[in-house]
Amino acid sequence: MANVTALILRSPGTNCNDETQFAFELAGASCEQVHINQFLEQPKIAQKFQILCIPGGFSYGDDVGAGRIMAAQMRQRLAEALQQFRDAGKLMLGICNGFQVLMNSGLFDENPTSERSVTLTWNNNGRYEARWVNLKTKTDSCVFLRDTDLMYLPIAHAEGKFVVRDETALNSLAQNGQLALAYCDPSQNGNGALLPFPINPNGSDQNIAGICDPTGRIFGLMPHPERFVDPTHHPRWTRQGLDTKPDGRVIFENAVSYFA
């Protein structure tokens, strides 16, 4: 496999950068952590990478809302660099706070300057939730989710509720294959009905836990795949004797193998 390079973009308050780098390295990528200030000063630095990942944490302390400050910096000063990155057929991944940043950046829209039709807001219960959840892949167009079906991953967020503006916007996302990942009850087939807490931990519309852009190359999700890349990360590994590949690792391996 050719050497694949990943840029891990961090900011004040990011706290999952090391785990995310470890996950990409397990998948075979070479990684470099870059501070947002360095990226702002040298936008062309992204050209030497094939994957750009914004990891979880609390960028700028979520002082004016989760991911909003970092997203504003990217919109105002990095729009051209990010568009070039996207047009070059490269991959972007946003995890938890990184998903919030991508969402506020408008990068999931075909026209980033248009009015946003989706957002992430406070969990229904109004508090931070940290638990493991079951997930189901909803599209075959997302690069990161190839050959996946059911997954079990941890979440840790207060503003993870996915909300769609209206039925028209929801139908457009579905038709484009952008509703990528959903909270699920693995014992049921599911019919799109809103699942109760804690199966759906935040009250997201359509139980959505992650979306992609129309190309399938930009992906954001609220769960933390970097926190389940080794069997010992599973909360029941000593009892179940897990010998299958950890669910989170597959997401990173799919990103790396895309460039093989």
**CATH superfamily label, 4-257:** Class I glutamine amidotransferase (GATase) domain (3.40.50.880)
Residue 110 pLDDT level (bands cut at 50, 70, 90)? low
For the question of residue 129 being annotated catalytic, the response is no
For the question of residue 96 being annotated catalytic, the response is yes
Q: Residue 113 above 70 pLDDT?
A: no
**pLDDT computed for residue 187 by the predictor:** 86
Tell me the pLDDT tens digit for each residue of 181-224: 999 999 886 666 899 999 999 999 999 999 999 999 999 999 99
For the question of residue 233 being annotated catalytic, the response is no
**pLDDT computed for residue 156 by the predictor:** 98
Kindly name the residue from 16, 31, 96, 142 that is annotated as catalytic.
96
Kindly name the residue from 19, 157, 184, 224 that is annotated as catalytic.
224
What is the average pLDDT value for the chain, to the nearest integer?
A: 94
Kindly report the pTM of this predicted structure. 0.96
Longest dimension (CA), the chain: 50
Kindly name the residue from 212, 226, 234, 253 that is annotated as catalytic.
226
**pLDDT computed for residue 242 by the predictor:** 77
